[in-house]
Amino acid sequence: MALVAAWFDRAHFGASPAVVRSRFVWAVWLSVGLSACVVPMSAYAEGATISSAKLEASEDGYQIDADITLQLTATLQEAVRKGVPLYFVAEFELSRGRWYWLDQIIASASRERRISYAPLTDQYRISYSGISQNVSSFEDVRRALSRVRSWTVLEKGRLRAGEKYEAALRFRLDTSQLPKPFQLNAIASKEWTLSSDWYRWTVTAPGELKP
């Protein structure tokens, strides 16, 4: 505001009182508008980051374990409590490099978790693969989403022993499954933006190498 006043004094020296008053009101509104556009970066700190991931052989095939640093906005919680289900998706890819052509995709998989709210019991429900779990708080929802355990992404026998592969994993909010009005909000507001970068590491069959 001080900078606006200093500019105003220099730019309007000698103008009539009426002109000065009208232009001063305009300058104040401009200053307020610019101030309103300055949003602290911490307001947009919500998001997802995969902090660790590994692919290991098991009796059921090759399984993913991963930990996700996850922050859920108050906007997402409010939407769930108003009856809007949220869908979170983990996506996995395994490829093999080829010097003579594009990388070969060996396997790809995705797993969806649906978050809903039951007002009669005041509980949140986490649903995936035909299984449901009820939790009492949105913080419990965050903790459940931040852990991926024993996710089978590839059957046994698909990898060649001793050969190296490139694994990639990401986690995101699937905004395409939101009701149409909320999809528009997701485009316009970062409060609805939740997607990690691809987390990549090298796997040697049948074990794994940490990145």
In tens, the pLDDT along 196-209 reads 999 999 999 864 44
In 10 A of CB 128, how many CB atoms?
A: 16
- Whole-number Å distance between alpha carbons of 55 and 57: 7
Return the higher-pLDDT residue of 135 and 157: 135
- Whole-number Å distance between alpha carbons of 139 and 71: 10
For residue 169, give the 3-state DSSP assignment: strand
Mean per-residue pLDDT for 66-73?
95
Confidence of residue 14 (pLDDT cuts 50, 70, 90): low
In 10 A of CB 68, how many CB atoms?
A: 22
